[in-house]
Structure 1
Amino acid sequence: MPDPGRARSLIEAHLYLDLVVPDGSAQASVSESPDGWLVQAGGVEVLVPYEAEQTAKRAGATFGTGVSELLDAGQWVLVGATYASRALEGGLLFAADPSPDQERFHAVVADWSFAADAVAEALKFLQEGGEPPPDAFWTELGTAARDAEPGRFTRAKLESDLAFYRQSLAGFRRLHAGDAAS
Structure 2
Amino acid sequence: MRPMELHAVEGTRWPVAKLTLEPAELQARLGLRFSELDDNLGPVLFAFGQLDDGTVVGLSRLIDGREPGTDLYQFGDRPPRDVLSELLFETGLSYDEVSWVAAAEAWEDDRLWVRSRAEAYAYILLHVQPDDPTEDPVRAAETFDVDGDWVVRYRDIVVHLQPRPNGQTPTGVGVYSHPEDPPSTVIDLGGWMFIASQAEAEARDLLLGFGPRAIDAREYWRVFDLLVQADGSATEAMRFLSPGVDELPVRAFWTRLGQWMLRQNPQAFNRGVLEAKSAEYRDAIEEFTRVYGAPPRRQP
TM-score normalized by the length of structure 2? 0.54
Pick aligned residue for 1:16 from 123, 129, 145: 123
Deviation larger for 60-69 or 39-48:
60-69
Partner of 1:152: 268
Partner of 2:192: 76
2:174–2:228 contact (8 Å) kept in structure 1: no
Gapped regions of structure 2 (runs ≥ 5): 1-108
Q: Deviations over 1:113-136 (max 9, x none)?
A: 110110111111113221222211
One-letter amino acid matched to 1:6: W
Residue 49 of structure 1: how far off its partner (Å): 3.0
Q: 1:68/1:179 Cα in 2 relative to 1: closer, same or farther (>3 Å)?
A: closer
Q: Deviations over 1:34-76 (max 9, x none)?
A: 3432111221210113528724249x97011321011000001
1:29–1:41 contact (8 Å) kept in structure 2: yes
1:73–1:132 contact (8 Å) kept in structure 2: no
Residue 168 of structure 1: how far off its partner (Å): 0.8
CA distance in 1, matches of 2:295, 2:213: 10
Gapped regions of structure 1 (runs ≥ 5): none
Q: 1:5/1:170 Cα in 2 relative to 1: closer, same or farther (>3 Å)?
A: same
Kindly indicate which of the two structures has a greater share of residues assigned to helix.
1
One-letter amino acid matched to 2:151: L
CA distance in 2, matches of 1:157, 1:168: 16
- 2:117 maps to 1:7: no
User: Where do residues 1-182 of structure 1 align in structure 2 (5 Å cutoff)?
Assistant: 3-22=110-129, 24-51=137-164, 54-57=168-171, 62-65=175-178, 66=181, 67-99=183-215, 101-127=216-242, 128-177=244-293
Q: 1:175/1:118 Cα in 2 relative to 1: closer, same or farther (>3 Å)?
A: same
Deviation larger for 172-181 or 103-112:
172-181
Length, aligned pairs only = 179
What percent identity do the matched residue pairs reach?
26
Kindly indicate which of the two structures has a greater share of residues assigned to strand.
2
Larger-Rg structure: 2
Q: CA RMSD in A?
A: 2.6
